[in-house]
Amino acid sequence: MRHEFDTPDAPKLRVGLAAGRVEIETADTARTVVDVEAIRGDLENLRVEQRGDTIAVEHRKKLAIVRGDEFEVRIVAPHGADADLDVASANVRVSGRIGGAEVNSASGDVELDRVERDLRVRSASGGVRATAVGGKADVNTASGDIELGTVAGDVVARSASGDVRVGEPAAGVSVNTASGDQTISAVATGKVDLKSASGDVHVGVRRGSRVYVDARSMSGSTTSELELGGTEPEGDGPLVELKATTMSGDIAIVRAG
């Protein structure tokens, strides 16, 4: 079933779903089109409506969730639309240029292309991937992997057994894992605080950046292409303050290109 709404200004997309799939695509348009399909259950249990600047797709009654309804939701909205998604076992795919994004998910995977402002994700066993984030990235998973490309704001990432990979952070980075590995491909400035119990840590530091390094592993190995020291280095380049701590994981610090 298709629903169409006039949205000359980028709307807020609110989706509340127990199970199924959510696909959002942004485009150069002044309308928002919502297509819904029942994988299991009755479409009458799903409400699709416009509330001011919000387009909402939600279960009508909690009983529908208990019965195990499952839906596929496909949305095409203007570039810059915000996404507020609360899903249980539904997978989420967002393509195009979303404004800000907040996602709460239990077991579904979350994939996003470009988030122009802040990104916040809370997931249990689902993986999280974002190609580019224009603001802050705050991601928390239990067993899912986290993969972030370029991030303009601070990065805060936490995972128990999942791996965390950050491509090019432009500000501070804080990562905490239990057994998951951590990879920061190329950092040029800011405070980088990495903690892991048994996971390995790999950090690439951009050439031209000054580096203060405090790296410690109780039973794992620590290798570095950069000097490890307790004083701030001299020079005119941007400063990276790197602190890496593990229990049994290895730590490797290299020069990025």
Between 208 and 23, name the one with better pLDDT: 23
pLDDT for 127 equals: 95
Task: Report the pLDDT averaged over residues 42-63.
Answer: 88
Q: How far apart are CA 190 and CA 171, in angstroms?
A: 5
64 sits in which H/E element? helix 62-66
Rounded Cα–Cα distance for residues 102 and 118 (Å): 8
Run of H or E including 200: none
- Would you kindly state where each structural domain of the chain is located, as residue ranges? 1-104, 118-257
CA dist 73 to 57, 109, 208, Å?
A: 8, 15, 47
Asked if residue 7 has pLDDT above 80, the reply is yes
Q: What is the pLDDT of residue 136?
A: 98
Q: How confident is the model at residue 231 (pLDDT cuts 50, 70, 90)?
A: low
Give buried/exposed letters for 203-237 (b at 16+ CB in 10 A, else e): bbbbeebbbbbebebeebebebebeeeeeeeeeee
- Across the range 144-151, mean pLDDT stands at 97
Name the band, by pLDDT with cuts 50, 70 and 90, for residue 229.
Answer: low
